[in-house]
Structure 1
Amino acid sequence: MLIATWNVNSVKARLETVIAWLKEASPDVVCFQELKCEDKAFPAQAFEELGYNLAVHGQKTYNGVAILSKLPFDEVRTRLPGDDGDEQARYVEAVVSGIRVASIYLPNGNPVASEKYAYKLSWMDRLITHTKGLLAYEEPFVLAGDYNVIPQAIDAKNPADWVNDALFLPPTLAKFRELINLGLTDAVRTLDPEPGLYTFWDYQAGAWQKNNGIRIDHLLLSPQAADRLQSTRIDKHVRAWEKPSDHVPVLAQFGA
């Protein structure tokens, strides 16, 4: 099974680009983030015509996540547990052919001095608690998405540029390590420890042209999913397409 994650940065604005990539890559399951549209405005027909089933949790103008699957969904959850008052659409989870997959759009957290950073850390605590529960099932699962976390200095072209950013602050990294240390595997890093792997290039200051990127889109695997991991790749070339997202797809291939 080929599972992918991609922050599309407005699914309607980049629909042609997204469709072109789906036809090229043909993932079995793909997690989208930052849809920037409500469920009723999601361009479902375009994806259904490619053979995908849809699980969408949208929000007008902001956020929004989805899972597309060529296989039927056995179960769908559209909220991260832990805060019934949280109205931000940042989490959707589904079971597909025995593998649980979540599409995650973790809060950015900037500016750090605002309530947005406290919300980021609180959201990470909720994710940690939920993941503990999932691990108890001892089943294969993939937590895929835009984590808005630069895990290590090696994951940024210029790490010094990010030292005061919510994506790279010590409390952020501590929460991410706490999540990983539950027993999860970073799919990309476990197979490729080399520098120069990025998933995001800002639209500003010629970041793409200078390859001034960061790696913030991750697929985190339960031990049972890690045992089935065969390969990973980052479709960096998509960033050079017309009307690109500032993120690119990250993919992992799993065996039976």
Structure 2
Amino acid sequence: MIKVTTWNVNSVRTREAHVADFLAREQPDFLLLQEIKCEAHQFPAMAFSALGYEAEIVGQKSYNGVAILHKGGAKVTHKRLPGMYEEDSHARFVEVRAHGMRIGGLYLPNGNSGGDVGYQYKLHWMAALREHAAAMMEGDEDFILAGDYNVCPTDADYAPRALRANDALVRPETRAAFHALLHTGLTEAVRALHPRETLYTFWDYQGGAWDRNIGLRIDHALLSPRLAERLVSVTIHKDERAKAQPSDHVPVSVTLTA
């Protein structure tokens, strides 16, 4: 089996002990981290190396940042999303090749800040992601694109009244862009196995969201066709949110046959 986990840790240095505990307990083959909020030299790579994991890091001071922890043998293929190289200074994408497939970890823009410009950046980023997925599909690649998508694909993916109708996570243009990504031939792992369950991956720190279960499902794993056929299970590690000083997101694990 191959286990790929995605987790927006909302500062890896703050959540270092939680990440180490998760690695030791769950033993994912790949852990895709988002919002590490540090530059590469500040990333606690040595702590994870002691647990048998190497780190591929795309850092940024104080904001954004992504990384992939793996057990060795992975080769980096991209440290920026193709199509965004010259104009995007944000650290939002890292991709490796291992086990005959590509594993892409992403932190998609939220889109609620920066007015119209900020929202157009989100849509442009989603269009570039779709083009990258389409190119890999045309190249007959096996791949998974997982991370914090900042998209609730349907109304079932957020608690009633958790978001405004014009929130960038649920605007019609956002959902259309997400569905266009799926239409390249991708399978959304959670809904493939749990099509109607109420499931969340994020609970805000404000307003008692965790205690009242006012959550969002915004962390997704999209699989190319042959990987979708190998999908065995999906686990949303909800208990992580109940720990002291948790991230506001929880890990999502996808297990595939080897």
What TM-score, normalized by structure 1, do the two folds share?
0.97
2:242 paired residue number: 240
CA RMSD of aligned residues (A): 1.2
1:80 matched residue in structure 2: 81
116-125 vs 78-87, which moves further: 78-87
- Name the structure 2 match of 1:20: 21
Q: Write the deviation string for residues 114-162 of structure 1: whole angstroms up to 9, x where unpaired.
A: 4110110111111111111111122221100000000011111115733
| Residue pair 2:162, 2:215 contacting (<8 A) in 1 also | no
One-letter code aligned to 1:255 = T
**Is contact 1:234–1:250 with CA below 8 Å preserved after alignment?**
yes
Which residue in 2 is equivalent to 1:7?
8
> Does 2:40 align with 1:59?
no
Cα gap change, 1:159 to 1:184, in 2 (>3 Å): farther
| Gaps in structure 2 of 5+ consecutive residues | none
Residue 135 of structure 1: aligned partner: 137
Cα distance in 2, alignment partners of residues 204 and 88 from structure 1: 26
Counterparts of residues 107-256 of structure 1 (less than 5 Å): 107-111=109-113, 113-158=115-160, 161-256=163-258
Report the CA distance between 1:54 and its aligned residue: 1.3
- After TM superposition, where is structure 1 displaced by more than 2 Å over at least 4 residues in a row? 111-114, 159-162
- More off after superposition, 90-99 vs 158-167: 158-167
Is the Cα contact below 8 Å between 1:199 and 1:213 reproduced in 2? yes
Distance 1:102 1:159 in 2: 32
Kindly indicate whether the alpha-carbon contact (under 8 Å) linking 1:139 and 1:224 is maintained by their aligned counterparts in 2.
no
Distance, in Å, in 1 between the alignment partners of 2:157 and 2:144 is 21
Is 138-147 or 66-75 further displaced after alignment? 66-75
| TM-score of the two chains, using structure 2 as the length reference | 0.96
Return the offset for 1:24: 1.6
Shift, 1:76, TM fit: 2.9
1:86 is aligned with what amino acid?
Answer: D
Distance 1:168 1:112, change over 3 A: farther
Tell me how far apart the structure 1 counterparts of residues 101 and 178 of structure 2 sit (CA, whole Å): 23
Q: How many residues align?
A: 256
User: Aligned-pair distance for 1:25?
Assistant: 1.2
Q: Secondary structure at the match of 1:142?
A: strand
Identity %: 50
Q: Structure 1: any 5+ residue segments left out of the alignment?
A: none
